[in-house]
Amino acid sequence: MKTALILCESAADLALDALQGRTPLQVARCEHATHLAALGQSGVLEPLREGFEARNEVRIAALLGAAPEAAAGLRRAPLEALGLDADTGGYDAVYRGDLLTVDGGRLASRAPGRRSAKELPPLVAALQEAWDPDKVKFVLAGPWTVLVMAKTGAAGHRPPAGCAPLPMLESGCRLRDFLPAGKRSRLLRDIIARARDTLAGHEVNQVRVDLGENPANFLWLWGGGAPLESGAYGGGRRACLFCRTPLAKGLGRLFGMTVRELRDPWQEGRAAFRVRETVTALRQHDFTLVYVDSPAAFGGYGTPEEKVRALEHFDQRLLGPFFEMLEAQRPYRLLLASEGLVSTETRHPVAAGVPVVLAGHDIAADPVTRWDEGQAAEGLLGTVSAEQLCRLLA
């Protein structure tokens, strides 16, 4: 039997005043998700343990079958390094470094905003000039993002995770309250301090200030952990992953999955899947995961109205075509779930259950007819754990 899981990052939400007390999923016209809900059973995936709500990697790993303690031990930066094929040899820790805009020691912006392709390389080069690359190495990883590989002296021990997770920081917060503490974090604090001095007077930032744009004047190190190896969590089944983000790609490689590139699911006028490649993958693999990242960083969709339109777009351009291709692979089971919940109003993760729908072989329909936060709670699946869902997809 073929099994498939479609995870849509932070599709779930809280009730919003702008939508008359409804969530975007309750407003969106998602005919294919509605069809799945009518065919199968709905439920609520229980929230992550307190403190893990900002960590996508924990939820995804758990849904891929990792034991709770193993999933909880994963960190974003080593997974992103694995997804980017970064050379981590010789280093005992990897950190995600985000360039922020800081004013008077307080967070002004989690992303400095518009950038040209020419701006980030000289900033990264300047950061590297302050360090021996055999000790600390900086690698360009994405918009306003670098990977920082370091020799922390943590060999045989778990390296310090770094600063607080960036998605949890609120605008205006005093950053020194969230910096790593303790002797083992001395190197990280030194990297952050040197980066602050380097970035403050850099020509790129001087030009940005002259143009009235936010400077990238602070480096936030977080999500750190020891480097990982491909296939370390491999379970022996033939599995395939469609995704775009380094984090998801890293998880796929960690679990020994075949990783395929998903086209931009939010781009108008272009299919998210290459039909021939996707059909071949479904035929050749027992399990397929489709991970759909949100249009903006860290589960963001913009305004409530923009999120409604995006969810409708996801339903028409991704869920519908995939379901049609999967139908030709009977028997199958398909699980549709929101990967976490990020409040559109606060733009921060929330520890709450998220709606899931399971349809396919030997799944009797329940009375639920929509994939949303309210109706899912009335489904036959009830409140389920990631481990229970894994068994249903085994």
Is residue 349 within 8 A of residue 340, CB to CB? The reply is: yes
Is residue 343 within 8 A of residue 334, CB to CB? The reply is: no
Structure tokens at 298: 């860290």
Confidence class of residue 270 from pLDDT cuts 50, 70 and 90? confident
Average pLDDT estimate for 199-208:
95
Share of residues in the chain with pLDDT > 70 (%): 99
Q: How many Cα atoms are found within 13 Å in the side-chain-facing hemisphere of 368? A: 29
List, in sequence order, every residue forming a beta bridge with 287; answer none if it has no partner.
3, 239
- Beta carbons within 8 Å of 350's beta carbon, 6+ residues apart: 14, 53, 341, 342, 343
Cα 144 from Cα 133, distance rounded (Å): 20
> Angle formed by the axes of helices 120-129 and 203-210, to 10°?
140
Pairing of strands 136-142, 145-150: antiparallel
At residue 153, the pLDDT reads: 86
Confidence class of residue 87 from pLDDT cuts 50, 70 and 90? very high
Question: Residue for token digits 């991970």?
Answer: 291
Whether residue 338 has pLDDT greater than 90: yes
First to last CA, the chain: 9
Average pLDDT estimate for 157-171:
91
Average pLDDT estimate for 147-173:
90
At residue 71, the pLDDT reads: 92
At residue 157, the pLDDT reads: 78
Cα 216 from Cα 98, distance rounded (Å): 9
Cα 311 from Cα 299, distance rounded (Å): 13
CATH T-level fold of 2-75+229-392: Alkaline Phosphatase, subunit A (3.40.720)
Whether residue 155 has pLDDT greater than 80: no
Pairing of strands 106-109, 41-45: unpaired
- Beta carbons within 8 Å of 216's beta carbon, 6+ residues apart: 99, 100, 101, 112, 115, 119, 123, 144, 199, 204, 205, 208
pLDDT digits (tens, 9 = 90+) for 46-84: 998 777 777 899 999 999 999 888 999 999 999 999 999
At residue 237, the pLDDT reads: 84
Structure tokens at 388: 């229970």
**What residues does each domain of the chain span?**
2-75+229-392, 89-225
Confidence class of residue 366 from pLDDT cuts 50, 70 and 90? very high
Cα 157 from Cα 138, distance rounded (Å): 22
CA angle 353, 81, 256 (to 5 degrees): 70
Mean pLDDT of the chain: 94
Question: Residue for token digits 């080593």?
Answer: 78
Average pLDDT estimate for 268-294:
93
Cα 319 from Cα 388, distance rounded (Å): 23
Confidence class of residue 337 from pLDDT cuts 50, 70 and 90? very high
Confidence class of residue 316 from pLDDT cuts 50, 70 and 90? very high
Confidence class of residue 299 from pLDDT cuts 50, 70 and 90? very high
Is residue 347 within 8 A of residue 17, CB to CB? The reply is: no
Residue 195 or residue 264, greater confidence: 195
pLDDT digits (tens, 9 = 90+) for 12-47: 999 999 999 999 999 999 999 999 999 999 999 999
At residue 269, the pLDDT reads: 77
At residue 381, the pLDDT reads: 97
Question: Residue for token digits 């590989």?
Answer: 149
pLDDT digits (tens, 9 = 90+) for 241-263: 999 999 999 999 999 999 999 99
Average pLDDT estimate for 142-169:
90
Is residue 361 within 8 A of residue 332, CB to CB? The reply is: yes
Pairing of strands 41-45, 354-360: antiparallel
Confidence class of residue 349 from pLDDT cuts 50, 70 and 90? very high
- Secondary structure tally for the chain: helices H, strands E: 14, 13
Cα 41 from Cα 33, distance rounded (Å): 12
The 3-state DSSP composition of the chain as helix, strand, coil percent (nearest 5) reads 35, 25, 40
pLDDT digits (tens, 9 = 90+) for 92-123: 999 999 999 999 999 999 989 887 778 999 99
